[in-house]
Structures are given as structure tokens and as C-alpha cells.
């Protein structure tokens, strides 16, 4: 029996994590749940799973609901003695503080929040190595790589290739995307996800963030991390080894499979999910991303090249702009353009928890100021 805390229990990954737990009540038990501000749904989940340790990230929502609120309350849930595994499924860099606290408390981290490593891989991964506990990735791409490299020495890996569906605008040009609507961007052809991450998929920002996350997870330089468009979303990522072999992990696009693997690693048990058959998808294809239309991958490489706090700024500015697009405050193409402007205004500094949190807030503020000025900013 593994005792699990889910940070972000009411979000998309949080709900699917709880689906996995419902299927495996003899292997997994929920001992803590958090949400941002959704007190009603959180109480319903607490009643279902018999959980008393609850927290809301929003201090205001906590005060109004009687549930402990604020970052300290979330950290308390994440570091409780009873917990074995902490699922970090919160959106954004707000997951960083409880993740660091949980690692220091000796917990295993099952990570769905890519922003934690994008912003702070330089802080997180040394702590993971000292903890002697694996960080098990939940993102389907990183789970695929994690599964492919089991048993392989690090120096046997030549490079990794992340796959991307291409989102709803695969094959479109910048001219085609000048008047993209919210509804069009949220019409993902393969995955059912939350609003912000779906927009990130449409801009390929999601893949850009995943490239940075992969660099930290698998201890490779960015030059050894690449991405290709794979519209069928069957091959979730590939690893190229030094001897020329390439391994890939395949399956239907269903997040419950990587979630289960992250929670039960290194065990594999029946998931109850549909098994992929190659006869069902005989025509698998790959395409090179269009760097002119989808500029996110270049921006990610630039952020990592300059280093320091700039990857954190890259992430925070994108989060502000993606949410701004959903709120009608930012054009679709302006997302990447505004992120680049914020990056140019930032002088990267040494990475500490305080410098990252300051850079995150600075980037959001500047991004909102630029969005308010409009396209001419």
C-alpha cells in the first residue's frame, strides 16, 4: 500500500490520478488532497476517500471555507509523516515550494507540473539525487523516456526525441493564425486537457517547456533534446542510444497509464485500459516542426543557453500570456512575441529559491503590462 498526496486534486491530472486510485484500492490510498480554491469539490473528494488532511492554495478561499489555506498549509499536507508519494499536479510554478519541501521530507515525487523543473531544475535535481528516491515523471513524453532508459547507463544515451501531436494548427502558417479564436485553440485533436495546457499545445509552448524539463530529468544538454510532430500520438517519445538503437514507448493517448506507472514504479499491474495494437494504426508519421510559425522551441533553447533565472521568466511570461489569450487580452501569435519581449528585458541572475520567485513575479507583471499596451508594445 502506497500513501499518496495529490497536489491539485481538482485539476485534469489530479482527477485522472484519483481514477487510478479508485481502480487500485488495494495498492494506493489517498492521505492528502489540495486544490487552488475549489473548496466544494475538494470536500467531496475528501469525503469519498476518507481524507482529513486538506489545503487550499488560496488563503482567501481557505478562510471562507474553513479549510486550511495558503502555501504553508499546502506544504503541511505535502510533508505529512503518513505520505509516501506526492503527486505534483498543480498548474504553474506555485508547485515549486511544496515540491522542494516534500523532497527534503523524504517523499517520492510523481511530477506532472513541468513548470517545477523548467523554473528550478537547477535546484530540484540535486535534491532528488541526494534523496536516493526517484522522481517519476507523469507527462506522457517524459514517462515514455523514463520507461525506455530503465537499465541503461546514462552514458549510453545519445539523445532524446519528444513527440508532439502538432495541436489543432498543425500545418498552418503565421498568416493562417492571425485571427485564431479561443474555441479553435482549445479544439485539440488528441488529448483532453485543461485550458492553459491546451493553448500551450497549440503554440508548441508545451513542447518547449517539456524540452527544458527533459534536459533536467535525464541530465542531457539541450543540444541532445529534440522534438518532432507525430500527429497520431501513439509513440510518446523516443530515445536514441550511442550504438544507433532507438527505443520508443507506444500506447493509446491516455494519461492514466503514465500516472499509474509513476505511482507504482517499478511495478507494472493491469491498468484496465485499452491495449494498443499496431494493426489499428498502420500509418504512423513524423514531421519537422515549423520554426517560423511556432517559435516556442527556439525561445526555450535561448532561455537555457542564457540560463540562470531566464527559464523561469520564460515559463512565467508564457503562463501569463496563455491565460491572457484565454481571457481575450492577448492574440494567439502575440503569445510567443510577448514572451520573447519579456525575455529580452530580463537580466538573468543566479538561481536561488528567492531569485526564482522574484523572477516569476517580475515576468508576470511585465507580460501583463505588455499585453495591456497591445500589439505595438
Q: Are residues 295 and 187 in the same domain?
A: yes
Domain boundary (138, 153, 187) is at 138
Q: What local confidence, expressed as pLDDT, does residue 326 receive?
A: 95
**How many separate domains does the chain show?**
3
Q: Are residues 101 and 12 in the same domain?
A: yes
Mean of pLDDT over the chain: 95
CATH number at residue 18: 3.40.50.720
Q: Are residues 285 and 311 in the same domain?
A: no
Q: Per-residue pLDDT averaged across 263-288, rounded? A: 95
Q: Are residues 180 and 71 in the same domain?
A: no
Q: What is the tens place of the pLDDT at every residue in 168-198?
A: 999 999 999 999 999 999 988 776 677 888 9
Q: What local confidence, expressed as pLDDT, does residue 350 receive?
A: 95
Residue 266 lies in a domain: no
Q: What local confidence, expressed as pLDDT, does residue 48 receive?
A: 98
In this model, does residue 377 exceed pLDDT 50? no
Q: Per-residue pLDDT averaged across 300-329, rounded? A: 96
CATH number at residue 375: 1.10.1740.10
Q: Are residues 157 and 224 in the same domain?
A: yes
Q: In what order do the strands lie in the sheet with 85-88?
A: 54-56, 28-35, 2-7, 85-88, 108-111, 135-137
Q: What local confidence, expressed as pLDDT, does residue 194 receive?
A: 76
Residue span of the structural domain in which 125 resides: 2-138
Q: Are residues 332 and 229 in the same domain?
A: no
Residue 286 lies in a domain: yes
Q: Are residues 52 and 153 in the same domain?
A: no
Q: What is the tens place of the pLDDT at every residue in 16-29?
A: 999 999 999 999 99
Q: Are residues 8 and 76 in the same domain?
A: yes
Q: What local confidence, expressed as pLDDT, does residue 376 receive?
A: 44
CA 331, chain centre distance (Å)? 23
Residue 19 lies in a domain: yes
pLDDT band with cut points at 50, 70 and 90 for residue 375: low
Q: Which three cell numbers stand for residue 47?
A: 469525503
Separation between Cα atoms, residue 328 and residue 136, nearest integer Å: 36
Q: What local confidence, expressed as pLDDT, does residue 92 receive?
A: 78
Q: Is the pTM of this model over 0.85?
A: yes
Amino acid at each position: 500500500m502506497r500513501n499518496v498526496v495529490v497536489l491539485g486534486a481538482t485539476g485534469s491530472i489530479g482527477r485522472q490520478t484519483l481514477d487510478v486510485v479508485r481502480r487500485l484500492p488495494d495498492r494506493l490510498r489517498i492521505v492528502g488532497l489540495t486544490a487552488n480554491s475549489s473548496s466544494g469539490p475538494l470536500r467531496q473528494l475528501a469525503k469519498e476517500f476518507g481524507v482529513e488532511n486538506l489545503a487550499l492554495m488560496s488563503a482567501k478561499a481557505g478562510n471562507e471555507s474553513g479549510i486550511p489555506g495558503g502555501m504553508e498549509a499546502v506544504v503541511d499536507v505535502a510533508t505529512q509523516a503518513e505520505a509516501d508519494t506526492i503527486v505534483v499536479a498543480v498548474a504553474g510554478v506555485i508547485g515549486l515550494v511544496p515540491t522542494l519541501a516534500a523532497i527534503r521530507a523524504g517523499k517520492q515525487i510523481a511530477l506532472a507540473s513541468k513548470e517545477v523543473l523548467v523554473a528550478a531544475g537547477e535546484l530540484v535535481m540535486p535534491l532528488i539525487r541526494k534523496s536516493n528516491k526517484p522522481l517519476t515523471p507523469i507527462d506522457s513524453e517524459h514517462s515514455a523516456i523514463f520507461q525506455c532508459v530503465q537499465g541503461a547507463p546514462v552514458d549510453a544515451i545519445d539523445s532524446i526525441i519528444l513527440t508532439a501531436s502538432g495541436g489543432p494548427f498543425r500545418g498552418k502558417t503565421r498568416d493562417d493564425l492571425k485571427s485564431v479564436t479561443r474555441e479553435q485553440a482549445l479544439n485539440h485533436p488528441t488529448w483532453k486537457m485543461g485550458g492553459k495546457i491546451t493553448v500551450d499545445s497549440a503554440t508548441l509552448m508545451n513542447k518547449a517547456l517539456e524540452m527544458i524539463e527533459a534536459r533536467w530529468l535525464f541530465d542531457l544538454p539541450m543540444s541532445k533534446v529534440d522534438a518532432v510532430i507525430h500527429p497520431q500520438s501513439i509513440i510518446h517519445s523516443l530515445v536514441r542510444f550511442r550504438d544507433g538503437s532507438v527505443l520508443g514507448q507506444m500506447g493509446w493517448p491516455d494519461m492514466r497509464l503514465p500516472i499509474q506507472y509513476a505511482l507504482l514504479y517499478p511495478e507494472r499491474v493491469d491498468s484496465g485500459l485499452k491495449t494498443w495494437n499496431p494493426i489499428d494504426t498502420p500509418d504512423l508519421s513524423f514531421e519537422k516542426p515549423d520554426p517560423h510559425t511556432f517559435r516556442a522551441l527556439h525561445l526555450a533553447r535561448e532561455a537555457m543557453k542564457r540560463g540562470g533565472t531566464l527559464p523561469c521568466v520564460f515559463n512565467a511570461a508564457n503562463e501569463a500570456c496563455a491565460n491572457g489569450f484565454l481571457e481575450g487580452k492577448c492574440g494567439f501569435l502575440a503569445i510567443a512575441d510577448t514572451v520573447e519581449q519579456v525575455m529580452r528585458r530580463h537580466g538573468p541572475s543566479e538561481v536561488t529559491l528567492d531569485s526564482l520567485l522574484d523572477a516569476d513575479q517580475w515576468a508576470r507583471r511585465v507580460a501583463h503590462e505588455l499585453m495591456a499596451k497591445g500589439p505595438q508594445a
